[in-house]
Amino acid sequence: MPSTPKRSTRKWLTSLGGKFVLLVASILAITMGTSAIINYRADTQEFLQHLAAKGKLLGNFIARISPDAILSYDFVTLDDYIRDVTREPDLVYAVIISPDGANMTSYLDEQDSHVADAIKTLGTKHVMAVIAQINSKRDIIPLNFPIVFDSDKLGSVTIGLTRQRIDQLATRELMTQLLSNSFIILFLGICIYIVFRHNALRPIYQLITGSERIAQGALEQEVPVYSSDELGSLTASFNNMIKKLKATGAEKDHAMLELRELNRTLESRVVDRTHELAALNVQLEHLALQDALTGLPNRSLLLDRLEHGISIAKREARPLAVMMLDLDRFKEVNDTLGHHAGDQLLQEVGRRLCGLLRDSDSVGRLGGDEFLIILPGVGIENSILVAEKVQSALEAPFVLEYTNISIAASTGIAVYPTHGDDNTTLLKRADVAMYVAKQNRHGYFVYEPSQDTHTPNRLALMGELRSAIENNELELYYQPQIDLSDGRIVGVEALARWRHAEKGFIPPDEFIPLMEQTGLIKPFALWVLDTALQQWAQWADAGMRLTMAVNLSMRNLQDPQLPSQLSALLKKWHTTRESLVVEITESAVMSDAASVMDILRKLNSMGLQLSIDDFGSGYSSLNYLKKLPVNEVKIDRSFITDMATDKDDAVIVRSTIELAHNLGLQVVAEGVENAETLATLEALGCDFAQGYHIGHPLPAEQISQLLSESESGVTFEKARVCGP
């Protein structure tokens, strides 16, 4: 009776081949399934670690490079830093916050669902509220990095990363792997069964037959060997067993000896492999702590040695010097000769520095063209000697690409414990000293607190100043100006005033320089122009014909959009072009003569009046002065104040008036404090004057009252506005 398919299946499952295939398939399924799950979790964890590492790298990078921009109040650069990180696909938001919690600059990815949901839920786009709502989501990873300079917290960088993309990638990878594993298991099961049936079962059946013969005492016939694999080896071993059943005891001992020799060989190979792995670990550790280009210690190893050196210095009450070097003209070498020559230069500099130092000293490369030297037991005087040796060592020409190259280095020196008692402080202050050395071209410089002037208070004031501009908390005061020919009021000078809610009156010479150091000077200048011309329009409607003179800074004069902005404001307030006088300083012109001259020509062609403010305090030549398209000069108050008692000042003022008149220019004297000075200026032929003796700066309402009380028919030829 033929077997049914059900019985055949049961028989196959209970056979050696069926059991083997099922066992292998089960093991593969469990192993590959477990591996897929483990890989899924590992991939997820790795992606998260990579995401967190990327976030930390971005946050630490911004926190590390932001102090210079923050301390210099350069919000434009801060905005650029934030825009640089917005290219990261997993970034939801990034914000830089001042110490008092004010938003200095921020970025929200409004295309991201978290941002859109938060804005929709809150009903507002307030950055800090939206970020707080986003952080409540489980798949958001918020990271915060303090911005610290000289142990002072300047603010913090907060970024938010989403793990949505990571979860999607990991899940997709898991499903793909499980599906692939299923096909692999099915394919392998079929292949294994076919191979096993042909290569394993047939020799096994032969071995079974041979065993039965041996049981019967027939040792002459050997089992045929079909392959050279393990079963073939087993068959051969089976045949050898037949032979060894007839072998002597000596042969058995010889076989045992061979077995022991094999064991010793295996143990020897294990020992050799262990030694190879140990050597590889040493090599990997070396690569992790050494700079790949120069072979010197890298930043990680240097920081470790510095921390260790400070610990020893504290214990032994000894000094320790830190020297930070930055190569001058390195970028020029790279740009001219190529990066290969730059790499050669860094390698040679590293060799020369190593040749100068003791065995106990350390020199390494921080990155780029910056090197760090650690000198245990060395104070300020000896560190200066080392700095001089470094300068001498680098003076010898470097031969790069068959060209002799001369370079120098700017070295900053900070000494424990005089300048700091931890590695972070010492490195910061060495960096400050290096910057001073580079700026002043000293070669080397020992840290001095006087060179480290930026404080958190000024940073906070800068943040408040931005808010003051945006919220119209500043105001303009106006100081009268008279025509010396008849003593009549012919104009006013408007001065910016800031009355802080908590700090009271803040002088212009304190907050205006802050604007000039940042991007705030441009919006401030536009505010002054707009406010002043609006006031001019009110006075013009009242029958008072005035001209407004605005003192613009160097940054304003370098702005190619200035002429079009001025034209728009003149049109907005219906101001005649000859009624606006733009005041510029000598230093602003000389700082970037070519671009400034181009802007001045455009303003002059528009019909605006141009004046040189603080004339005499700068360094412009008379030959250059005659080329400027100006209409008047304003003599600096430092010459006017003492001219009545100082003959030298009087001579300078007289010469300036005569020079200006010979060039066809009018002359304004500022800082007139008494009647004697006023009379002297009138005798010298000065055209206009202003100062406390003539009138103090007043709000627009009081100036309007003063002008309305003037005699009827007065033509107001000058109304001066001092801008940013």
Any idea which fold 457-721 has?
TIM Barrel (3.20.20)
Residue 457, both tokens? 């208070």
3-state SS class at 222: coil
pLDDT (0 to 100) of residue 410: 92
Backbone angles phi, psi at 445, to 5 degrees: -155, 135
Is residue 452 predicted with pLDDT exceeding 80?
no
Integer Cα distance of 620 and 592 in angstroms = 12
Q: For the segment 482-491, what is each residue's pLDDT rounded down to a tens digit?
A: 889 888 887 8
**What value does the mean pLDDT of the chain take?**
80
724 or 690: whose pLDDT is higher?
690
DSSP letter, residue 711? P
Average pLDDT value for residue range 126-146: 84
Percent of the chain with pLDDT over 70: 82
Range 627-664 burial, b when 16+ CB lie within 10 A, else e = ebebbbbbbbbebbbbbbeeeebbebbbebbebbeeee
Alpha-carbon distance of 353 to 348, in angstroms, equals 9
Reported confidence tier of residue 450, pLDDT bands at 50, 70, 90? low
Instruction: Identify each DSSP E strand in 501-645 by its residue range.
Output: 504-506, 548-551, 580-585, 609-615, 632-635
> Domain residue spans in the chain?
14-246, 251-288, 299-449, 457-721
Picking from 698, 186, 469, the residue whose alpha carbon sits closest to that of residue 706 is: 698
Which whole number is the average pLDDT over 146-150? Answer: 85
Residue whose token pair is 């020897």: 268
Whether the predicted pLDDT of 723 surpasses 70: no
Secondary element (H or E) of residue 53: helix 16-71
Q: How far is CA 632 from CA 547, 581, 609, 694, in A?
A: 14, 10, 8, 20
pLDDT band at 240 (very low <50, low <70, confident <90, very high): confident
Please indicate whether residue 191 or residue 431 has the higher confidence score (pLDDT): 431
Range name among 65-74, 328-337, 547-556, 590-599 with the lowest pLDDT average: 590-599
Q: How confident is the model at residue 197 (pLDDT cuts 50, 70, 90)?
A: low
Predicted confidence (pLDDT) per residue in 95-107, tens digit: 888 888 777 888 8
Note the pLDDT of residue 718.
Answer: 36
Residue 446 parent element (H or E): strand 444-446
pLDDT digits (tens, 9 = 90+) for 360-381: 999 999 888 999 999 999 999 9
pLDDT for 349 equals 93
pLDDT value at residue 568: 94
Q: Using only C-alpha atoms, what is the Rg of the chain? A: 42
User: Which has more pLDDT, 226 or 672?
Assistant: 672
The pLDDT tens digits of the residues spanning 642-658 come to 887 888 888 989 999 99
What's the pLDDT at 711?
44
Please classify residue 152 by burial: count the beta carbons closer than 10 Å to its beta carbon, then call 0-12 exposed, 13-18 middle and 19+ buried: middle
Of the candidates 298, 17, 89, the residue with the CA atom closest to the CA atom of residue 25: 17
Is the pLDDT reported for residue 248 higher than 60?
no
State pTM to two decimals: 0.44
Residue 459 has pLDDT above 70, yes or no: no
Assess whether pLDDT exceeds 70 at residue 323: yes
- CA separation for the pair 145, 33 (Å, rounded): 40
The CATH number given to 299-449 is: 3.30.70.270
Report the pLDDT value the prediction gives residue 537, as an integer from 0 to 100.
92
Residue 482 burial class via C-beta count within 10 angstroms: exposed 0-12, middle 13-18, buried 19 and up: buried
CA distances from 161 to 43, 59, 82, 369, 566 (A): 17, 11, 14, 33, 44
Q: What is the pLDDT of residues 68-85, one digit of tens each?
A: 777 777 777 777 777 777
| β-bridge partners, 582 | 550, 610
